[in-house]
Amino acid sequence: MAYLPVLATAGRSYVFAWKNLGSAFRLAWLPFLVASLPWPPGEAIGAAWWLASPLLLLLAAIVATVKAVCSSLVTVALMRVVLFDRRAAATLLPPSIEPVHVLVVAVYLGLGLLAFLMEGVLAVANVALPIPTANAAFLLLPAAYIYVGARLFTLDAAVVVSGRLPLRETWRHAAGNWWRLFALMLLCSAPALLLPSKFGSVASEIGAADFALNSDAATTLATTLIEFVVGLPLAALNAAATCYAFKALAGIPPDATV
């Protein structure tokens, strides 16, 4: 069984993201920009999805699918750099959708559906179960979701390499490494967890300065721009971490092409 060197993998991922900032923006700026835009249906539903109308839920599902497609274009483009050292030519048009993108979208939507169902179960548990049982559900269900997410952390990279959906192989390769994968997820998601707390105040200042008022529209626009500039390097960091973890668990040297 291969073991994941957590700190070395995280360090290598940060180095990749820093050294490939230009490539990340050149390869994936357009789909990432579309994925970063605020979409009214999803914003209108918020957390109380069970109170939304069927039409609003349908629109939100369409928006989620569009965002998942755009995210898959970003993920595949960045992962191909790490895995194959393949850098597509810059273009103003969105790249064509290939079967591998459809599989990555299926992964995103599957994990999103699990989170969606978990949120619904927790909402019901909060009002229908005794407090001790509800508290246990609020602890156990997120823990189970995190465990599944860690075991399937390298699934995107496996899809890009194999062109199929190797769930069993990915699950098996992560055996004995799930806590290392979880630690890697924490190390590489730390910037994404820390930066959003700064977005609100910075966006408000930018909105007030540029539009002479602290309106919702100004703050939303400023936040979207900040998330675009900061978010794409973070996407490169996550893609690199996934690919380097995949290589480590598959016994492939980190600098070798697959």
CB 256 within 8 A of CB 83: no
Exposed/middle/buried for 41, CB within 10 Å: 0-12, 13-18, 19+?
A: middle
CA distance 5 to 217: 45
CA distance 229 to 224: 9
CB 153 within 8 A of CB 138: no
Is position 1 within any domain? no
Mean of the per-residue pLDDT values of the chain = 81
Maximum average pLDDT range among 134-138, 229-233, 244-248? 244-248
Q: How confident is the model at residue 213 (pLDDT cuts 50, 70, 90)?
A: very low
Q: What is the pLDDT of residues 86-127, one digit of tens each?
A: 876 555 455 678 999 999 999 998 998 898 888 888 888 888
User: pLDDT value at position 34?
Assistant: 78
User: pLDDT value at position 164?
Assistant: 94
CA distance 258 to 255: 9
User: pLDDT value at position 165?
Assistant: 93
Span 177-184, average pLDDT: 95
User: pLDDT value at position 220?
Assistant: 64
User: pLDDT value at position 207?
Assistant: 44
Residue 149, pLDDT above cutoff 90: yes
Residue 80, pLDDT above cutoff 60: yes
CA distance 102 to 8: 31
User: pLDDT value at position 206?
Assistant: 42
Nearest to 2 by CA among 229, 174, 198: 174
CA distance 157 to 82: 10
Task: State which residues form the domain around 21.
Answer: 6-250
Residue 167, pLDDT above cutoff 50: yes
Write phi, then psi, for 141 (nearest 5 degrees): -65, -50
Is position 255 within any domain? no
Is position 258 within any domain? no
Name residues whose C-beta falls within 8 Å of residue 208's C-beta, 6 or more positions apart in sequence. Answer: 214, 218
Question: In total, how many domains does the chain have?
Answer: 1
CA distance 157 to 242: 6
Q: How many residues are listed for the chain in this entry? A: 258
User: pLDDT value at position 200?
Assistant: 45
Is position 96 within any domain? yes
Is position 168 within any domain? yes
Is position 114 within any domain? yes
**Helix, strand and coil in the chain, % to nearest 5:** 80, 0, 20
User: pLDDT value at position 11?
Assistant: 96
Is position 256 within any domain? no
User: pLDDT value at position 219?
Assistant: 64
Span 179-197, average pLDDT: 85
Alpha carbon separation from 191 to 138, 186, 239 (Å, rounded): 26, 9, 14
Q: Which of 94-108, 179-193, 210-224 has the lowest mean pLDDT?
A: 210-224
The pTM score is 0.82
Report residue 106 as tokens.
């299926």
Residue 66, pLDDT above cutoff 60: yes
Is position 212 within any domain? yes
